[in-house]
Amino acid sequence: MKSKARMKTTLLIIVTVILLILSLFPLVYMVCQSFNPWDQVDKALFGSFPTTKSYEYLFGNNGTEDSWMWIRSLGNSLIVALPTALISVLVGLSVGYSVTKLKFRGKKFIYQSLLFQMFFPAVILLVPRYIMIKPLTNHYSGMILPLCISTWAIFMFINYFKTLPDEIFEAAKIDGLGEFGMVVKIAMPMTRSVTMIVFLSMFMARWNELMWDMLVAPDIKMQTLNVLISTQFRSMGNLPGPMYAASVILTVPIIIMFLFASKYFKEGISFMLK
State how far the Cα of 183 lies from the Cα of 161, in Å rounded to an integer.
11
Q: Which of 28, 74, 69, 67 is nearest to 249 (CA)?
A: 74
What pLDDT score was predicted for residue 62?
62
- Residue at 144: amino acid letter: I
User: pTM above 0.75?
Assistant: yes
Confidence band (pLDDT; 50, 70, 90) for 1? low
pLDDT > 70 fraction of the chain, expressed in percent and rounded: 91
Q: Is the pLDDT of residue 236 over 60?
A: no
The CA–CA distances, whole Å, from 117 to 99, 112, 122, 125, 151 equal 16, 9, 9, 11, 7
State how far the Cα of 265 lies from the Cα of 254, in Å rounded to an integer.
13
How confident is the model over 188-212, as pLDDT tens digits? Answer: 888 888 888 889 889 988 998 888 8
Q: Where are the alpha helices (DSSP H) in the chain?
A: 2-34, 53-58, 69-101, 107-117, 126-132, 140-144, 151-162, 166-174, 179-182, 188-190, 192-207, 211-216, 225-232, 240-260, 262-272
CATH class of 67-272: mainly alpha
How confident is the model over 76-131, as pLDDT tens digits? Answer: 999 999 999 999 999 988 888 888 887 878 777 887 777 777 777 777 878 888 88
Average per-residue pLDDT for the chain: 82
What pLDDT score was predicted for residue 78?
92
Q: Which of 145, 142, 109, 267 is nearest to 200 (CA)?
A: 267
80 class by beta-carbon count within 10 Å (0-12 exposed, 13-18 middle, 19+ buried): buried
What pLDDT score was predicted for residue 268?
61
Q: Which of 235, 242, 148 is nearest to 199 (CA)?
A: 148
* Backbone dihedral angles phi then psi of residue 236, each to the nearest 5 degrees: -125, 35
What pLDDT score was predicted for residue 109?
81
Is the pLDDT higher at 215 or at 1?
215
